[in-house]
Amino acid sequence: MYSIGIAEDDHKIAALIKNGLEENGYEVNVYQDGVSALQAFQSQSFQLFILDVMMPQITGIDICRKLRLQQIQTPILMLTALGTIDDKVNGLEAGADDYLVKPFHFRELLARIEALLRRQNLPVTSKTNQIKFEDIILDIQSKEVKRANKVIDLTAKEFHLLELFMRNPNRLLSRQYIAEQVWDVNFDTGTNVVDVYINFLRNKVEKGFERKLIHTKIGMGYIFK
């Protein structure tokens, strides 16, 4: 299990990142001011740092610069609400490896983390590589899906939809939540795109199998169980 240190003073954002990363097999420690973050990053072992630029006491850029001056080469991903070229250049010149502008989608954050770990010749966590539920195996890296050892061919959207369900088993997901996570758009109540793609997915992962996994809760959404 890889350990990630996060310096983020926004409680809501910090909690969302922490919960999401822990669900994907990472160990996460959050620090909400620059001084405590820097002290922890200097004394403890982490495989990756996530730094918010605007931190109290010491900024994320200053933390990054101090770590690099001490020859700490742990990958650093900067987070900021500032998206200008100068802001990005300042972070990269301080020693950051990557830069992500808020607001961002969690899938992109996860992909950036995996890329930084691979760049350091560290394999991503096995839980991140594969997700298993019942007799279905979904491989994040190869984009291959198998049920009962039978390969199932999915489109990109069908794959992301199945991944969302498999990361949230036994949890009721509303149509709005599904649309925002898979299509990255605000849900339009006039479209049935979610229902259409769930039917596509059902035909591929349930047809010919005894157990049904995607269940409809009328007026509420869908649950994978």
Average pLDDT for the chain: 85
Residue whose C-alpha is closest to residue 63's, from 44, 97, 91: 91
* For residue 116, pLDDT beyond 90: no
Q: Are the beta carbons of 135 and 148 closer than 8 angstroms? A: yes
What pTM, to 2 d.p., does this model score? 0.56
Quote the pLDDT of residue 13: 92
- Each residue's pLDDT tens digit, 6-53: 999 999 999 999 998 988 888 899 999 999 999 999 988 899 999 999
Torsion of CA 204, 154, 173, 20, to 10 degrees: 140
Quote the pLDDT of residue 92: 84
pLDDT interval class at 126 (50, 70, 90): very low
What 8-state DSSP symbol labels residue 81? S
Quote the pLDDT of residue 84: 67
Lookup: tokens for 53: 């630029």
What is the rounded average pLDDT of the residues 165-186? 79
What 8-state DSSP symbol labels residue 31? E
Say how many C-beta atoms besides its own lie within 10 A of residue 28's C-beta.
Answer: 19
Quote the pLDDT of residue 179: 82
pLDDT interval class at 122 (50, 70, 90): low
* For residue 75, pLDDT beyond 60: yes
Q: Are the beta carbons of 17 and 88 closer than 8 angstroms? A: no
What 8-state DSSP symbol labels residue 121? T
Name the least confident of 116-125, 152-161, 193-202: 116-125
- Each residue's pLDDT tens digit, 127-164: 556 788 889 998 877 889 999 999 999 888 898 899 88
Above pLDDT 90, what percent of the chain? 36
Quote the pLDDT of residue 56: 86
Lookup: tokens for 47: 């495989």
Name the least confident of 16-25, 69-78, 88-97: 88-97
Strand 221-224 to 172-173 pairing? antiparallel
Sheet holding 130-133, edge to edge: 130-133, 136-139, 145-147, 150-152
Residue whose C-alpha is closest to residue 2's, from 18, 38, 26: 26
Q: From residue 190, how far is each of 17, 33, 221 by CA, in Å? A: 31, 44, 15
* For residue 209, pLDDT beyond 80: yes
Name the more confident of 125 and 136. 136
